[in-house]
Amino acid sequence: MFSFISRRLLAGLGTLLVSTFAMYLLVSKSIRPFEDLESLTDGAVKAQRIAERTEILDLNTHPVIRYFKWLGDFVTGDFGVGWRSGQPVSSLLQGAVASTIQLVAAATVIAIILGVMIGIVSALRQYSSFDYITIFLSFVLYSLPAFWVAVLLKQWGAIGFNDFLKDPSLSPLVIAVAGALAGTAWMLAFGGTARKRLITFGSAFLVTVGALYYLQLSNWWLQPNLGPVIILITGTALAFAITALTAGLQNRRALGAALSTVALGLALYYPLRSVLRAVDSWALVGGLAVLTIAVGIGIGYLWGGPDRGISARSAAITAFLVASMIFVDKVMSIWPAYLKAPAINGRPLATIGDATPNLGGNFWVGTLDSFTHLLLPTIALVLIQFAGYTRYSRSSMLEVMSQDYIRTARAKGLPERTVIMRHGFRNTLIPLATIVPIDVITLLGGAIITEKVFARPGMGTLFIDSLQGAEVDPVMAYLVIVAALAIIANIVADLIYAALDPRIRVNA
């Protein structure tokens, strides 16, 4: 393992050196540092400004020599200065990296979960109506221009929802159509006999219509909350679903451990809300999340059984999700005051930036404000990424389910859930192990179009603005970070390959 990582890192450093050298020469050749001076009519002033800028940027030195000067400074921790703004590149990167990570983290996790889940269901129901609709939607979303999706979301997502909040009421027709769409989607996903399809459609229709009427009658749009009842219902459903996927509902100990975490979460609902009032940083939130997972693992081991690991896994996942709902409920409680803030003026969904100027408030107000700014760009990225992950996971699952070892597992009499989850799903992830790390690093480099449309000060925006402003140091710092992360992503992909496929050895 150590030998493998060492070899890959050395090869990566060589690649990084060559790529930065080539990029420095290309950037030096392509930028126009005197473009803003071309409009000057006074020849003497123009010549003086050109001479000053030539000295500042050291343009009389050959680009190869300038590269090695830059490289020496960069290795010693001096990333340079943006000569137009006068700000150190390190401070520019800190804000840009933080903004991009906020956006990428949520979008990537949601896109992977939804894309893989729907892709696998589509593969298991090959040639069904659900499969054809999934293929059609994935190709449509994959081909949509990112800027067009972003603009539509700004128009109908932000402006439309903000206008809706002035009189938050849904007509019976809208509620009925939403229920019919939900019922149709679940019916196609589950399939089965005509009777089963009708029951699925009716159940999903009634649940959707009932939920929407509850939201309307309780004035939920202006005073949103989850509360113990919704957390109980949702947590119980999640406990059954997670146990069914990870252990099977016949494993009563795993199911009992998962349901116990739901009960514990409800018992601690009000005490946890008091604890959360004192939280003032994401570091504390992360610590509480780790503690929650540890408690879930402990509950799983306390339930015992021949395989405590499965019970611990089910309980830990359920505990994390229940705690996440309590966290979201706390954020929702800030919504009424947030709407009334002068800086918000009753229009909470933002279309530009990553924070509301002059908002003020504590950690929870800032968290809610970040969420409202992240919502639309996250949806834009999820729609594009989701289409790709759906296609990849579907094709991979179809290939895996046609293998001989799947037929052997079924012939041995294993339950279908075991065949799909333990034999099919694990091997389906192998091709995705290459795609996901590279996609994450690509997005960390900046979702340039999305960031530009929503005016988020992320890595992509920094790169474009610096390149247009002829600032070499920020551009090179950006390129080094993206290239280094791409190299690390390839190494991580190889390690994930080895973890998923026992036939692969990294020390071979």
On the question of pLDDT at 83 being above 80, the answer is: no
On the question of pLDDT at 299 being above 90, the answer is: yes
Could you tell me the pLDDT band of residue 181, with boundaries at 50, 70 and 90?
very high
On the question of pLDDT at 11 being above 70, the answer is: yes
Residues 41-46 have a mean pLDDT of 72
Residues 444-453 have a mean pLDDT of 76
CA distance 263 to 231: 10
Q: Which of 52-66, 308-322, 494-508 has the lowest mean pLDDT?
A: 494-508
Which amino acid is present at 439?
D
- Quote the mean pLDDT of the chain: 85
Residues 295-309 have a mean pLDDT of 86
Instruction: Give the tens place of pLDDT for each residue, 154-171.
Output: 888 888 888 888 888 888
pLDDT of residue 324: 92
pLDDT above 70 coverage of the chain, percent: 96
On the question of pLDDT at 41 being above 80, the answer is: no
CA distance 388 to 434: 13
DSSP symbol at 6: H
Give 271: exposed, middle or buried? Use CB within 10 Å, 0-12, 13-18, 19+: exposed
pLDDT of residue 116: 87
On the question of pLDDT at 359 being above 80, the answer is: yes
CA distance 337 to 345: 11
Q: What separation, in Å, do the N-terminal and C-terminal C-alpha atoms of the chain show?
A: 9
Whether the Cβ atoms of residue 132 and residue 468 lie closer than 8 Å to each other: no
Residue bearing tokens 């509850």: 214
Residues 214-228 have a mean pLDDT of 88
Whether the Cβ atoms of residue 380 and residue 112 lie closer than 8 Å to each other: no
CA distance 446 to 99: 10
Q: Could you write out the DSSP letters of every residue in 386-451?
A: HHHHHHHHHHHHHHHHTSHHHHHHHHTT--HHHIIIIIIIHHHHHHHHHHHHHHHHHHHT--HHHH
pLDDT of residue 183: 92
On the question of pLDDT at 508 being above 60, the answer is: no
Could you tell me the pLDDT band of residue 150, with boundaries at 50, 70 and 90?
confident
| Nearest one of 456, 450, 465 to 352, comparing CA atoms | 456
Instruction: Give the tens place of pLDDT for each residue, 456-506.
Output: 888 888 888 888 888 888 888 888 888 888 888 778 777 777 776 666 665
Whether the Cβ atoms of residue 104 and residue 443 lie closer than 8 Å to each other: yes
pLDDT of residue 504: 65
On the question of pLDDT at 441 being above 80, the answer is: no
CA distance 293 to 323: 9
pLDDT of residue 297: 93
pLDDT of residue 75: 86
CA distance 87 to 456: 19
On the question of pLDDT at 308 being above 60, the answer is: yes
Instruction: Give the tens place of pLDDT for each residue, 236-257.
Output: 999 998 888 777 778 888 899 9
The runs of H, that is alpha helices, within 191-307 are: 194-217, 227-246, 252-267, 269-277, 282-303
Residue bearing tokens 């954020």: 331
| Nearest one of 16, 27, 32, 30 to 71, comparing CA atoms | 16
On the question of pLDDT at 97 being above 70, the answer is: yes
Give 257: exposed, middle or buried? Use CB within 10 Å, 0-12, 13-18, 19+: buried
Which amino acid is present at 329?
D
On the question of pLDDT at 446 being above 60, the answer is: no
pLDDT of residue 349: 87
pLDDT of residue 502: 66
